[in-house]
Amino acid sequence: MRFKTLKRAFGLGALGALGAGAVAAAAIASGNRRVTRWETLSPDDAGDGDFVGLSDGARMRYLVRGTQGSPVILVHGLMDSAQHWAKNLDALAREHRVWAVDLVGFGFSSRVTEPKYSLQYFARTLREFMDAQGIARASIVGHSLGGAVTLEFAHAYPMCVEKLVLIAPGTYLTNLVGWLGWLARVPYVPRALIGFALTSHRARMRAWRRAVGDASHIDWAELPTRIRVGRVKGTADALVAMLGSSWTNHLGERLGEVAAPTLILWGDRDRSVPLAHAARHARALPNARLVVLEGAGHIPHNEYPARVNQLILDFLRAAHEA
């Protein structure tokens, strides 16, 4: 009797496992189909901006504003693009020649699907961009991931940097990505998960609300533009490649070697990069000034653009006049 009961339980367990496996397989297939239906655009659908060809064959898209003044380059964060600076470009361009770039894998730049992404790779492509534009030296503004890229660039190419503006840089978080690398080696699964995230309206709303200090400051008119850059073909595959790339770096230990005058801006309600990291950057960088913006979240330049634009212009102006 006991044997029959065990046999029946084993059979039911096996059926349950098969059923769960079938459900998981269906979910993975669904996620991958959603990606295919979602990614309908190409870099040529950007509508504005131009492109620079890089040595690895990728193309880097950029916007440029202003006709005079010292050069300024804006570098966006994770899952963002040059459009991320829509509330800053024209204000900064009153006194500077300003370029906003799409990092490779984002915006309307090429989607590299090999696991070659790293801070070093992004810094190298930024240097190639500057060379192609004939920019010998520039002030660079970087946000989140773009802030870490900016610091890596300043460390690797100090002769190319005039001043730095760091907005909640993710310097101390980049090494933490490595533990996700195993996921990139699982066939179909990471692309499906990314597919659900990219196409989920609820996920986008949650991300938007998390990015700001006050949800009433969200500019919903920007949402279609922000969604659009995530529909470029190859986006999910590029994100899988990023997961599988080597992000290990020693940048946080080398900040003392970055001598460029630096303005650090941080929202006191940042829920993406801890405010404690602001003080770490201010202590580590030898020529830095920290400004904490009350009420702001992770994107203070979008949430409080007038204040941030003035802070940046004052800092760059003082540097220029010094």
Residue 120 CB coordination number (10 Å): 18
Question: What is the C-alpha separation between 7 and 32, in angstroms, rounded?
Answer: 37
Query: For residues 124 and 190, what is the distance between their CA atoms, to the nearest angstrom?
Result: 27
In a domain, 36, yes or no: no
Burial of 197 per CB tally in 10 Å (0-12, 13-18, 19+): middle
Mean pLDDT per 10-residue segment, the chain (322 residues): 50 46 62 84 93 97 96 96 96 98 97 95 98 98 98 98 98 77 67 83 87 90 87 93 89 96 98 96 98 97 97 87 43
Is 7 a domain residue?
A: no
Question: d(Cα 72, Cα 271) in Å, to the nearest integer?
Answer: 28
**For 311, phi and psi rounded to 5 degrees?**
-60, -45
pLDDT value at residue 205: 86
Nearest to 52 by CA among 135, 109, 123, 112: 109
**What CATH number corresponds to the domain at position 88?**
3.40.50.1820
Is 190 a member of any domain?
A: yes
pLDDT value at position 8? 57
- Distance of alpha carbon 159 from alpha carbon 257, whole angstroms: 13
- State residue 15's pLDDT score: 39
CB atoms within 10 A of CB 237: 19
Q: Is the pTM of this model over 0.85?
A: yes
Q: Are strands 262-267 and 97-101 parallel, antiparallel or unpaired?
A: unpaired
Q: Look at residue 285 in the predicted model and tell me its pLDDT.
A: 98
Q: Is residue 37 part of a domain?
A: no
Q: Which domain, by its residues, includes 57?
A: 43-321
How many CB atoms within 10 Å of residue 142? 27
Is residue 38 classed exposed, middle or buried when 0-12, 13-18 and 19+ CB atoms within 10 A define those classes? middle
pLDDT of residue 128: 98
Q: Residue-wise over 282-306: b if at least 16 C-beta within 10 A, else e? A: bebbeebebebbeebbbbbbbbbbe
* Domain-located, residue 4: no
pLDDT at position 9 is: 47
Report yes or no on 162 lying in a domain.
yes
Domain-located, residue 153:
yes
Q: How many CB atoms lie within 10 A of CB 241?
A: 20
* Count: domains in the chain: 1
Evaluate whether residue 72 is within a structural domain. Answer: yes
256, 125 Cβ separation under 8 angstroms: no
